[in-house]
Amino acid sequence: MKHLFIFFITAVLGSSCALTSNTIIDPKKEFELGDGTHGNFNAKVKNVSRATIEIYEQALGDTVKKVATLTPGKTIYAMFAANTKAIFKNITDKQASLDLKVTGDTGLSMGGPNY
């Protein structure tokens, strides 16, 4: 019974590690998550603004690839491979706001040169 309890606590703690954030992106700017070397991560992204956001991914040394367009009020679940960054571009003239919940490797860089 003791081993079962330890396994249960480990499973609960391991599954509850997540990074949550409300991220503001100014008009015509972008926010990068996960630049550099890191493990896989998953992101639940909800657009809580009136601005449309484009989501891209870029592996180290590779080209930028579009993942999705996130219109106001919509939510997307995206998986990003190790050493791949997520790029959230505000393509409008309005301020954007995203609710992010990131699981997996949460020791990620945040920001970017155009943030």
Question: Which CATH number characterizes residue 91's domain?
Answer: 2.60.120.380
* pLDDT score recorded for residue 16: 55
pLDDT tens digit string along 29-56?
Answer: 999 999 999 999 999 999 999 999 999 9
Q: Is residue 43 part of a domain?
A: yes
Q: Is residue 11 part of a domain?
A: no
With residue 88 as reference, give the H or E element that holds it.
strand 84-90
Q: Give yes or no for a contact between 43 and 100, defined as CB atoms under 8 angstroms apart.
A: yes
| pLDDT at position 115 over 80 | no
Residue-averaged pLDDT of the chain: 88
* pLDDT score recorded for residue 32: 96
Q: Is residue 7 part of a domain?
A: no
Q: Give yes or no for a contact between 97 and 24, defined as CB atoms under 8 angstroms apart.
A: yes
| pLDDT at position 8 over 50 | no
Q: Is residue 91 part of a domain?
A: yes
Angstrom CA distances, 9 to 32, 34, 87, 106, stand at 33, 29, 34, 20
Domain extent for 42: 18-111
Could you tell me the pTM of the whole model? 0.84
Q: Is residue 4 part of a domain?
A: no
Q: Is residue 49 part of a domain?
A: yes
* pLDDT score recorded for residue 41: 97
| pLDDT at position 26 over 70 | yes
Structurally, the chain folds into a number of domains equal to 1
